[in-house]
Amino acid sequence: MLKMYVIEFEKEKMILRVPIEKTKEIGVRKVSTKNQLKEIFEILTGKAKIRRTMWSRRAQEYEAKINSGDIKLLTEVVRDLFRSDSQPEQSYSERQLYEAARERLSREVAVIEKTDEQKAVEKMETILNNSNGRNEEINTED
């Protein structure tokens, strides 16, 4: 008999069934720990790192980080693309990437903290807004 993990995505009204022996192969990982959550919040308080490369290239890099399955890389995207009310508005594509990253990260934070997604978003954005490192660190690579 084939044993499976059943993952339910309430928001999308979707159920994903993954054979247990295929989880590593397809990139399913365990939910982050409380210690990893502390690291996530530390990353959020850091300086945003913005590279001075063409937007299309940065967008590809952000997309790769979002889809990597690495919670720290996902957190970096949220930190780097976050804009407070006093900062310039984001482009449509920048906003889409930010929202995709924020949604994935907030879901994980909500599971770890046993709360709902909206409270997780509020906590993350409070950390981002209160961060001393809101100044951008600009890299001129490439």
DSSP string, 77-135: HHHHH---TTSPPPPHHHHHHHHHHHHHHHHHHHHHHTS-HHHHHHHHHHHHHH-GGGS
* Tens digits of residue pLDDT in 74-83: 999 999 999 8
Report field, pTM of the whole predicted structure over 0.75: yes
User: In the chain, where are the structural domains located?
Assistant: 1-29, 31-139
CATH superfamily of 31-139: CarD-like, C-terminal domain (1.20.58.1290)
Residue-by-residue pLDDT tens, the chain, 142 positions: 899 999 888 888 899 999 999 988 888 888 999 999 999 999 999 999 888 889 999 999 999 999 998 999 999 999 999 987 777 788 999 999 999 999 999 999 999 999 999 999 999 999 999 885 555 555 544 4
